[in-house]
Amino acid sequence: MSDDHKDFDSFTVSPCSRGEAVEMAIQTGVIAHLVICLLAPFGLAAYGAGGLWAGFGISCMLAAAIPFVLVPATAAIGFFTHLAFHRTQVPIPTLVRVLVILFEASLLGWAVLIAMTVP
């Protein structure tokens, strides 16, 4: 028995459905990925690792990965986040956005690490 004086229904109400969580994750991921694609040429030009043209090449490769890597990964993040937290009082939309942004930041970190190690 719970002592917080809340009905069971107040815990089952979710701020968004699973489909909305997946759609929100995909939209957030695509926007964040396009921002990374725009920042990559300037970051590599400032670093001096191949200059602006290498940055455009990496941006093109990152943009080509959107339908094959980004959309399935962010859809999985949205699906599993909603599956794990839909009966809790965790704000699912905020959590989905934060997890997708962290995923994109890790991808950016890997791209920077690869660009720095390749001569």
pLDDT in tens, 32-70: 999 988 887 777 777 665 667 777 887 888 889 899 999
Least confident span in 37-41, 86-90, 100-104, 113-117: 113-117
C-beta of residue 108 within 8 angstroms of C-beta of residue 44: no
Which whole number is the average pLDDT over 6-22?
70
pLDDT at 4: 57
Distance, in Å, from the CA atom of 72 to the CA atom of 70, rounded to the nearest integer, reads: 6
Secondary-structure breakdown of the chain: helix, strand, coil percentages, each rounded to the nearest 5: 80, 0, 20
Spatial CA neighbour of 58 closest among 46, 43, 41: 41
